[in-house]
Amino acid sequence: MAKPRPAKRILDSYTIKGSNKTIKPGDCVLMRQPDSSKPPYVARVESIEAGSRGSNVKVRVRWYYRPEESIGGRRQFHGAKEVFLSDHYDVQSADTIEGKCFVHSFKNYTKLDAVGNEDYFCRFEYKSATGSFIPDRIAVFCKCEMPYNPDDLMIQCEGCSDWYHPACIDMTVEEAKKLEHFFCQSCSSQNEKKTEDSHSASRQLESKVESKRRRR
């Protein structure tokens, strides 16, 4: 007769060893790498389970990949705190969890007043087998036609609303920060035209007023 398998217990939460921090399914965590000189792995906890006596806690995780862990590697537009939600799941010992972290949406990340050690962001899902991304296209900006890297300062043109890297428009970051108004090259050439038109219009008006005065 087959022995009954030891029952596993599904846990609602787990307190990280050596801390008072509690994690729940859905939370994001940092997990120790075997090579401690490398940055920790980032994962989302799917479920937590323990052996029948509540020991040997394991977490089922869905890995976030850092750009350098992806097949295509890190690209210029990838942020320092960017991670990709992968389709790669694993079961790990809860002992390897070193802390909690937060993986923000791209939009929320750009709105953070300060980026802490535990703040990350995700704008792509990643298929670990093929190295492909969802979405496979995102908006590009500037003359260089690059996706937005939130680590790099960009300035917005008040004419066309496109965003530009200071370096791509021959400006230093300091100069760009001081700008109160910015029009890109193509918008400012259109703008000049408009100002010229209004100048000539006002000149005409002045001459009309003058001629009226002269008549008196």
**For binding to Zn ion (CB under 5 A), which residues are involved?**
142, 144, 157, 159-160, 165, 168, 184, 187
Q: Which is nearer to Zn ion, 113 or 145 (CB)?
A: 145
Residues 6+ apart with CB under 8 A from 81: 109, 115, 119, 120, 121
Q: Smallest distance, Å, CB 161 to Zn ion?
A: 7
Q: Smallest distance, Å, CB 182 to Zn ion?
A: 8
Q: Which is nearer to Zn ion, 90 or 158 (CB)?
A: 158
- Find residue 125's DSSP bridge partners: 85, 134
Q: Smallest distance, Å, CB 143 to Zn ion?
A: 6
Confirm if 93 and 57 have CB atoms less than 8 A apart. Answer: yes
Q: Which is nearer to Zn ion, 48 or 184 (CB)?
A: 184
Q: Which is nearer to Zn ion, 99 or 159 (CB)?
A: 159
Q: Which is nearer to Zn ion, 108 or 172 (CB)?
A: 172
Cα–Cα distances in angstroms (integers) from residue 138 to residues 37, 107, 112, 145, 198, in the given order: 33, 14, 22, 11, 39
Q: Smallest distance, Å, CB 114 to Zn ion?
A: 25
Q: Smallest distance, Å, CB 196 to Zn ion?
A: 18
Q: What count of other Cβ atoms lies within 10 Å of the Cβ of residue 120?
A: 22
Sole residue written with tokens 């799941």:
89
Phi/psi at 51 (5° precision): -65, 175
